[in-house]
Every structure is written in C-alpha cells, then in structure tokens.
Amino acid sequence: MGVLSRADVELADVVAVARSGERVRLASVVERDIEASRSVVDDILAEGRPVYGLNTELGAGRDIVVSDDRIGEFQRRTIRNSNAGLGEPLTFEQARAVIFARLVGFSRGGSGVSLALATQYRELLNRDVYPVIPRAGSVGAADLTHLAAVAAVATGTGRAIVGGEVISGADALAAVGLEPFALGAHEALASLSGNSYSVGVGALVVSDLAAVVNAADRVVALSLAALAAHSTGGALSPFSPEVHAAHRSPEQAASAARVLALLPATSAASTQDPLSFRTAPQLHAPLAVAVAASAAAIRLELASRTENPLVDAELRRMVSGGNFQVLGLGLSYEALRLALAHVAAASERRLAKLSALQAPLRRSGDARVPGLLSYTASSLLAEVRHLANPVTLDTSSVSEDVEDVSSNAAVALQLLERSAKLTRTILAIEAVTAAELAAGAELSAPLRSVADLVTGGLDDDTPADELVARVERELF
C-alpha cells in the first residue's frame, strides 16, 4: 500500500498491509481532508447545534443532551459500553485488516476525527500493536464491538497481544513508544462508525477465494485423468472451446480452458460422464462471478464515507444517515456461500464415483488412501450446505427498538470463512483419491505434483488428516 491517498483502495492493498506487514503513510492531501473534516465538527460543537453523537447520547438516548463538561467522559463511556465482544480473538493479520479498514475510512473525510487520532491508528499498524478483538458481537450496522476493542487500545485501555502475551492496552502502547490517545468530541462514535471487520477481514477471505476457483478446476482435471485411467470412451468434448463459446460466459470458458489445458490430448472417458464431471465449468463459473461481485462490494465500502453522522466538509454540515447499513456486502457473502456449496456438492459426488473405482485397490490391500475419506467429505458437505442458508434476515431489534433492522454482514462473513475452509478440504479429499487412481497415468506437471504428494513416501501409517492437509497446501 505504501501511501494512503485519495486513490481507490484495492483488496490487494488490504492483504499487503494485513499479511505482509506493509507500513502505511498518509498522503498530505489526505491529511488536509481529515483536518478539514475535523474543523466542521469543531465549528458545529462551538455553535451548540444538537447533532447525534456529538452533543447527544446514542441509540435510545439520542434525545439526551451531553453537556460540554461531560463530553470527554462521554467518549470514554461510549468506548467502554461498546467494548462488548466475546469469543476467540481475531488473528494478527485479521486485526491489522480491521485497523487498516478503519484508517481508510478516516482518510475519506467523512468521519470528523482529528489527524492525531488517524495518526494513532496508523502507528498501531506501523508498530505492530495487536489489539485483542473478540470475534462475535456485530449485527452488521457498523462493527461496533470490533472497533471498540481497537479504540480501547488506542486510548490506553482494553487488551493487546505483545510477544504472544496478553497485556493491557496501556502497557502495549508503552512497549512501542506510544502514548494513550485522549478522544475529543465525536471521536468515540467516529471510531466505531464503520464496518471495518466485515470489510477488512472480508477482503482477506474473498482474496483467498479467488484461488479456490483455479484449484477446483485443477482437481476436476485430476479426477478426469483418474477416470480416463480406468475406462475407455470418447473425447472430452464437454470442455471444448466451442461448447463454452455457445454459452457466452467468459468465466465458464476460462474454467473449461484451465481444465482442458491440464489434460493430455489422449485423455478419454465415457461418452457422457456424470454431470458433476462434465458440467464442472458451469458450476465453477458462478463461484468466480460471486467472488468478483463480493470483491466489488468490498471496494465500494473502502471507497465510501459510511459514518453516522456523516461529516460533509464542503457543506460544513454533519448529517445523520444510514451508509453503515451494508446489506449489499452481506448479500454478496450469502451468494458466495451458496456458490461454494454447489462446488463442494459436485466435488463430493465426483469423489463417490472415484471411491467406487478405488474398491479393487482396497480389496487387494493395495490402497493407501482410506476409502472412508468419502464419508468424511459427506459429513463436511452437510455442514457446507447448512452454512449456505441465509443469515442476513435473522436480525433482531436492538437499542430499545430504535435500531430495528440490520444486515448481519459480520455473521455472514464468519459463515463464509467456515464454508470456504470446508470446501477447500472437500476438494483436497477428492484430489487425494483421484491422485492415487491416476498415479500411473500420463499427467501434466500441475497434476503430477499432486499425485506425487499422495504416492511419494506414502505408507499405511500416514494419517489421513496429514495426507489431506499436504494436498490442501499444494492446491491452495
């Protein structure tokens, strides 16, 4: 990423900051935008005009005025009251993605935070401060609990992890030479007013899913090679370019081309293989489309001003709005889970066919891949199918019925994260079984590398989970 400017932020930028530890600098134009936004807040506060969260309380307390002498205490109370997440903490890279996504939000000039607070968040990244951010808590109308955990550390409370040890936020700041930040008027709410978990961690998950499409094509090619090694018949016409040109789906054509490129020209199978084999491009293409749509939804959020109230530096106003309601993002995660379920279901069906071909090896005692891996895949598929059910409608009314609808985008993302993991494992199980069956066949280099992982040094004592994990790492 390097310099955070007015330019669009891409998913790759989030990945670079979160996973590669890339340092972040604010462009001078962004610093000016942040300062201009803050000056609007200062002017409105001086005028005494009532604005939600600036000089009034929040949610059900929106009509309760906060006096000037209580504004500092109100900032601290807001963070403390919102720091209510539970569950396992996010990983180091996920925490960095959350902080970076909120810093991007600050840079857009709609938050009204001071440049000093934006700088504090930048330094949390650049000095590797790792706030303990509990996984559960957001209903998808701004990721309040996740962002409260970050704000707590930035202000010298909360908890952070340094050297693998959980310590206080104050001690974590001191360890890297930072002072606790004292929030000014409106800055507590502005720190929380973003879907930075759903966007930042979503960028990591969706970026990884791009690899699933290519890997699924590779697995299909290996399974087709296994079929060809155990049967005779016609050419693999369902993968020819003419078939996919007729449907005019570039994603489908690309999938078919990848499969075809991995197969030797002499490959043959039955005249019409089962649908899970011959319609793989038609099944994989919707996943590619869903990945692209979800990536676009994330980019939109990274480019937007989503705060409530929204600070408009040109009009010199703070306006209550609802840009924090990210149903579009949540629905994109729902669509991805459904597309993954179809890919996983087809993989499990192909595996069942391959397992039947493996039966003679099992009876002779020559099989090294456990036959009941197909049972495990079936078990995992049941969960993937369950995870495909919608969650964005399963919301509750909160804050005394003031906040009466929400998106559940964060929960949709968490289910997607699990669904992606299970789908990768199902595909790896298929690849393991196909690799044993195709081991003696003519294979292209990408397929041979998988087969060699399965057959090279494999013995009766190799645990199934180690074998599958080995192939999963190779594929993804």
CATH number at residue 246: 1.20.200.10
* Any domain includes 318: no
- Name the domain count of the chain: 2
**Which long-range contacts (C-beta less than 8 Å, at least 24 apart) are formed by 56-59?**
58/189, 58/399, 59/398, 59/399, 59/400, 59/402, 59/403
CA–CA separation, 423 and 23 (whole Å): 33
Same domain, yes or no: 407 and 282: yes
Same domain, yes or no: 224 and 178: no
Q: Is 68 exposed, middle or buried (0-12, 13-18, 19+ CB in 10 A)?
A: exposed
Please, where are the H alpha helices in 133-233? 144-154, 169-175, 187-192, 196-229
* Any domain includes 317: no
Among left, alpha and beta (phi > 0; psi -120 to 50; other), residue 217 is alpha
CA–CA separation, 318 and 40 (whole Å): 8
* Any domain includes 18: yes
- In this prediction, residues 265-270 reach a mean pLDDT of 55
Written as one string, the DSSP assignment of 58-82 is -GGGTTSBPPGGGHHHHHHHHHHHH
* Any domain includes 315: no
The secondary element (H helix, E strand) that includes residue 166 is strand 165-168
Same domain, yes or no: 343 and 364: yes
pLDDT (0 to 100) of residue 394: 79
- pLDDT of 396 higher than 90: no
Same domain, yes or no: 24 and 134: yes
* Any domain includes 125: yes
Q: What is the dihedral of CA 259, 476, 431, 213, to 10 degrees?
A: -40
140-170 tens-digit pLDDT: 889 999 999 999 999 999 999 987 889 999 9
- In this prediction, residues 289-310 reach a mean pLDDT of 96
Question: Under a CB-based contact definition with an 8 Å cutoff, are residues 292 and 3 in contact?
Answer: no
- pLDDT of 230 higher than 80: no
- pLDDT of 119 higher than 80: yes
Mean pLDDT, the chain, as a whole number?
A: 91
* Any domain includes 415: yes
- Pairing mode, strands 159-162 and 165-168: antiparallel
What are the structure tokens assigned to 335, written together? 């669509």
Same domain, yes or no: 190 and 236: no
- In this prediction, residues 388-416 reach a mean pLDDT of 82
Share of the chain above pLDDT 70, in %: 94
Among the candidates 194, 226, 252, a domain finishes at 194
Q: Is 405 exposed, middle or buried (0-12, 13-18, 19+ CB in 10 A)?
A: middle
* Any domain includes 96: yes
- In this prediction, residues 259-283 reach a mean pLDDT of 80
Which of the two residues, 15 and 367, has the higher pLDDT score? 15
Same domain, yes or no: 166 and 57: yes
pLDDT (0 to 100) of residue 163: 79
Residue range(s) defining the domain that contains residue 129: 2-194
Question: Under a CB-based contact definition with an 8 Å cutoff, are residues 126 and 398 in contact?
Answer: no
Same domain, yes or no: 118 and 26: yes
Same domain, yes or no: 302 and 402: yes
CA–CA separation, 340 and 271 (whole Å): 28
Residue 357 confidence class, pLDDT cut points 50, 70, 90: very high
Among the candidates 143, 166, 194, a domain finishes at 194
* Any domain includes 312: no
pTM over 0.85: yes
Same domain, yes or no: 140 and 249: no
Q: Is the dihedral of CA 456, 460, 466, 468 positive or negative?
A: positive
Same domain, yes or no: 465 and 404: yes
Length of the chain: 476
Same domain, yes or no: 262 and 165: no
- pLDDT of 1 higher than 70: no
Written as one string, the DSSP assignment of 384-427 is HHHHTS--TT----BTTTTB-----HHHHHHHHHHHHHHHHHHH
Among the candidates 144, 170, 194, a domain finishes at 194
Residue 457 confidence class, pLDDT cut points 50, 70, 90: low
Same domain, yes or no: 185 and 227: no
CATH of the domain at 58: 1.10.275.10
